[in-house]
Amino acid sequence: MPKLKINPIHRQGASGTTFVFTQHLSAISDAWKRGPGRGMTVAWPAGTTARGSDDMVALIQKEPGSIGYLGYGHAEKSKLPMAWLQNKSGEYVKPSLESGQATLNSAPLPENLRGWIPDPEGKDSYPIVTYTWLLVRKHDGNSRTTAALKDVLKYCLTDGQNDSVALGYIPLPEKVRQAELHAVDAIAP
């Protein structure tokens, strides 16, 4: 490694990516948990502030020694080098589609389908992976809107999964897809 001063870059405003990153840091470090903690915004102890993902990419590319956190798809499309991280099993894992899938496959899915994976099990699991959620009412009150919404959700959970990688996301594991499809069927007008 070159001898450079490390410049941590963090998001300025509330961010789900910040929440996932700080949730992982809090799961693996009591000092972090007691200090900045986890949240969509935290009081960062040091670093440069970025205004969103595109600004974070630009700052990382501009200043040698800079490190930051982004979604895998954004980092991949920007051709940024990504860190191999040590997981709960003690393995250093490369961020990839396969290690992301290993994480999602290893995580239990609660009945309400709001799964968090702050420090996943599995020797092949990348330590920082999360789902993207869509919160939907169980009863909408409008049969046309409900039918259209259910059609879109079913597409996203079936044929739409084929576009996941190109859009920078990990295709859902089969067990998750099936649970989500069951939940979509339960949505009533």
Residue 1 maps to a domain: no
pLDDT tens column, 37-84: 999 999 999 999 999 999 999 999 999 999 999 999 999 999 999 999
In the chain, the percentage of residues whose pLDDT exceeds 90 is: 84
For residue 177, give the amino acid letter: R
Judge if 117 and 64 occupy the same domain. Answer: no
Q: What is the spatial distance between Cα 11 and Cα 51, in angstroms, rounded to a whole number?
A: 6
Judge if 65 and 19 occupy the same domain. Answer: yes
Q: Where are the beta strands (DSSP E) in 12-155?
A: 48-50, 66-67, 85-86, 92-93
Judge if 103 and 147 occupy the same domain. Answer: no
Tally of domains in the chain: 3
Q: Which of 20-24, 126-130, 138-142 has the lowest mean pLDDT?
A: 138-142
Residue 138 maps to a domain: no
Residue 1: is its pLDDT beyond 70? no
Other Cβ atoms within 10 Å of 101 Cβ, number: 18
The pLDDT value recorded for residue 132 is 87
Domain boundary among 66, 82, 98: 82
Residue 3: is its pLDDT beyond 90? no
- Residue 97, burial from CB neighbour count under 10 angstroms (0-12, 13-18, 19+): middle
Residue 137 maps to a domain: no
Judge if 35 and 72 occupy the same domain. Answer: yes
- Round the CA-based radius of gyration of the chain to a whole number and report it: 18
CB-CB contact of 68 with 59 (8 Å): yes
Q: What is the spatial distance between Cα 110 and Cα 151, in angstroms, rounded to a whole number?
A: 24
Judge if 119 and 94 occupy the same domain. Answer: yes
Residue 2: is its pLDDT beyond 80? no
pLDDT tens column, 106-129: 988 898 898 889 999 999 999 999
Judge if 98 and 71 occupy the same domain. Answer: no
Residue 136 maps to a domain: no
Residue 108 maps to a domain: yes
- 68 three-state secondary structure: coil
Judge if 76 and 123 occupy the same domain. Answer: no
Q: What is the spatial distance between Cα 152 and Cα 183, in angstroms, rounded to a whole number?
A: 14
Q: What is the spatial distance between Cα 114 and Cα 93, in angstroms, rounded to a whole number?
A: 25
Residue 56 maps to a domain: yes
Judge if 112 and 151 occupy the same domain. Answer: no
Q: Which domain, by its residues, includes 155?
A: 143-185
Residue 155: is its pLDDT beyond 70? yes
As a whole number, the mean pLDDT across the chain is: 94
Beta bridge partners of 66: 7
